[in-house]
Amino acid sequence: MPRVLYIDDDEGLRTLTRRALRRRGYEVVTAEGADAGMALLAAEPFDLVAIDHYMPGKDGLETLAMIGALEAPPPVVYVTGSEETRVAVAALKAGAADYVVKAVGEDFFDLLASSFDQALDRRALLAAKTEAERALLASNERLAALLKEANHRVANSLQIVGAFVQLQASSVQSEEAKVALKDTHQRIAAIGQVHRRLYTSDDIETVDMAEYLGSFIAELESTWSTPASPRLIRLVADNIRLATDKAVSVGVIVNELVGNACKYAYANGQSGEVRVSLLRENGSFRLKVEDDGKGFDPANSPKGTGIGTKLIRAMAMSLKAELDYGAGPAMQVSIKAPL
């Protein structure tokens, strides 16, 4: 049976209530006032409390406030002989789960038992909701930890694959093969950087593009620069976060465009600058890569294998992006894609 503490200064009504509610499936313990009721609450567990409004000493509202201050207060049903609306409203505002107007006869006990049922049902639903939210939070935390670990392992695996590619590049004699393997290594690095960002960030669903591109472009500058042919790569980026798959696509595009600019825009023994920007633009973002070299005509056959051009188009398609090759003496390529 649910245990109910009934606080009322009317001894006769306390006895009647205890007997009537026992027949309705409740174990009722009674107290004659606020102090006696609070002592019982401190000593025994109760599922619910019913409080009479008019009592000598501390009235029902004062008792309700004392119960509400407990660490884990049980639900309270307010009982009053007054039919004034203000009393019921004051009790509900103070935290009562329900109120019942005191009367004589079995109807009063039926209403009281019905109110108890509803208050306990609401408490059970709230407890179930809280437990479900706790379980969901714990599950999400476990999944986040697993996803971080997966990104960590993917990044490590890509780093190992990149090392193998570099090792292979150092052992081949063909200059064309060396260039192709170098390009492959940079493509692997572009994807690996995304996964490194994901497992070191609290946000496992999106990538800070300014931070990611800043780090990746520093790697590209180091890779493509030589003492005889230095390459300066500048980045301007807004504070934009993209989903993982979009970040990978942008990284691959930047890798291909910057690599092409470093290889073909400037002659050997000539220094050169490549500029990369990623800016917000009316609910979209625009990525632009440009140099001051001799220009590029996309209608002409690619100078290399053509894989880079195919990758750029494929990644732009995955981003639902518009690809634009600017006109002019120097190369200027931009894509505009939804955020």
Return the CATH number at 170: 3.30.565.10
**pLDDT for the residue numbered 261:** 87
Cβ atoms of residues 108 and 98 within 8 Å: no
Is 218 a residue whose pLDDT tops 80?
yes
Task: Give the containing element (helix H, strand E) for 85.
Answer: helix 85-93
Residue 329 — pLDDT band, cuts 50, 70, 90?
Answer: low
Cα Dmax for the chain: 106
Whole-Å CA distances, 70 to 38, 52, 67, 258, 315: 10, 19, 5, 65, 60
Domain final residue pick, 71, 102, 133: 102
Residue 192 — pLDDT band, cuts 50, 70, 90?
Answer: confident
Is 303 a residue whose pLDDT tops 70?
no
Same domain, 210 and 301: yes
**pLDDT for the residue numbered 200:** 67
- The range of the structural domain enclosing residue 39 comes to 3-102
Does residue 331 form part of some domain? yes
Output the domain CATH number for residue 14: 3.40.50.2300
Same domain, 222 and 314: yes
Same domain, 87 and 188: no
Domain final residue pick, 86, 102, 118: 102
Same domain, 95 and 150: no
Return the bridge partners of 322, or none.
336
pLDDT, one tens digit per residue, over 114-159 is 999 999 999 999 989 999 999 998 888 887 777 777 777 877 887 8
Does residue 310 form part of some domain? yes
Residue 222 — pLDDT band, cuts 50, 70, 90?
Answer: confident
For the sheet with 76-80, list strands across it.
Answer: 27-31, 3-7, 48-52, 76-80, 98-101
pLDDT, one tens digit per residue, over 66-85 is 999 998 899 999 998 766 77
Same domain, 270 and 179: yes
Is 195 a residue whose pLDDT tops 80?
no
Is 189 a residue whose pLDDT tops 90?
no
Same domain, 162 and 311: yes
Domains held by the chain: number = 2
SS3 at position 71: coil
SS3 at position 180: helix
**pLDDT for the residue numbered 155:** 76
Does residue 328 form part of some domain? yes
Same domain, 61 and 177: no
Q: Tell how strand 272-281 and strand 284-291 pair up.
A: antiparallel
% residues pLDDT > 70 (the chain)? 93
Same domain, 67 and 147: no
Same domain, 74 and 147: no
SS3 at position 125: helix
Q: What is the pTM of this model?
A: 0.57
